[in-house]
Amino acid sequence: MSKDFNVNEQIRSKEVRVIRGESSDNSESTVMEIKDALILADDLGLDLVEVAPNQKPPVCRILDYGKFKFIQNKKEKESRRATRNLSKQKEVRLSPVMSENDILTKIKKVNSFILDGAKVRVFVRFRGRQRAHPEIAMKVLRRVAESTSEIAKLEKPPTMDGRVLSVMLVPDANKNNGAKNKQINATV
């Protein structure tokens, strides 16, 4: 949840360091008594917000508290959304000897995962003597990567790990928005 700040009369310190304006500005700071800071904030029609209570003296900012709180909540939601999408990872298993229709079905599944914002690990597991012909599996993986190139990009090239040849596909933010718009227009 978002952090609550002491505002105006909730500030208990006798002296505060007052900064005017937003944090992006190179604003000057002055140390003054709390009553003078409250009068200054009231004259400007803004609020006195304690942003660093553990400092000596506590640091306060003169700003519109409603707008400040809204921006804080918006940043927090964005960071939560970003971390939630990063943690999603799906896997799709292929075989080196799959039929054409099976490959198309798997490609559709990969596309849906990528449009949902998840990373997708596509891998081919070899059985028996199939390991002697990794080029067949490489062709299947290349086909999947080319089919999803409109909405995804390769995070790393195909790698062989024991009996498994795998590739990681990640949503391409620039291309993904256009693909979602195409999908929405196609359904309308």
| Digitized pLDDT (tens) for each residue of the chain, 188 residues in all | 456 788 888 888 888 888 876 655 556 778 888 888 888 888 888 888 888 888 888 888 888 888 888 988 898 888 887 776 566 788 899 988 888 999 999 999 999 988 888 888 999 998 888 888 888 888 888 888 889 888 888 888 888 888 888 899 888 877 655 555 455 444 43
**CA 39 from centroid of its chain's CA atoms:** 41
What is the DSSP secondary-structure string of 103-161? HHHHHHHHHHHHHTT-EEEEEEE--GGGGG-HHHHHHHHHHHHHHTTTTEEEEEEEEEE
Residues 180 and 99 occupy one common structural domain: yes
Cα(129)–Cα(136) distance, integer angstroms: 12
For 78, the token pair is: 């964005």
Residues 20 and 71 occupy one common structural domain: yes
Last residue of a domain, one of 27, 53, 81: 81
Last residue of a domain, one of 81, 98, 127: 81
Give the pLDDT score at 185.
Answer: 44
Residues 144 and 97 occupy one common structural domain: yes
Residues 13 and 62 occupy one common structural domain: yes
**Full residue range of the structural domain in which residue 72 is found:** 6-81
Q: For position 130, which CATH number holds?
A: 3.30.110.10
Give the pLDDT score at 22.
Answer: 63
Residues 77 and 101 occupy one common structural domain: no
Give the pLDDT score at 2.
Answer: 54
Give the pLDDT score at 176.
Answer: 52
Of 107, 120, 106, 123, the closest CA to residue 166 belongs to 123
Cβ proximity of 103 and 143 under 8 Å: yes
- How many domains, in total, are found in the chain? 2
Q: For position 34, which CATH number holds?
A: 3.10.20.80
Give the pLDDT score at 1.
Answer: 46
Amino acid (1-letter code) at residue 48: L
Residues 126 and 182 occupy one common structural domain: yes
Last residue of a domain, one of 36, 61, 81: 81
Residues 38 and 59 occupy one common structural domain: yes
Residues 110 and 147 occupy one common structural domain: yes
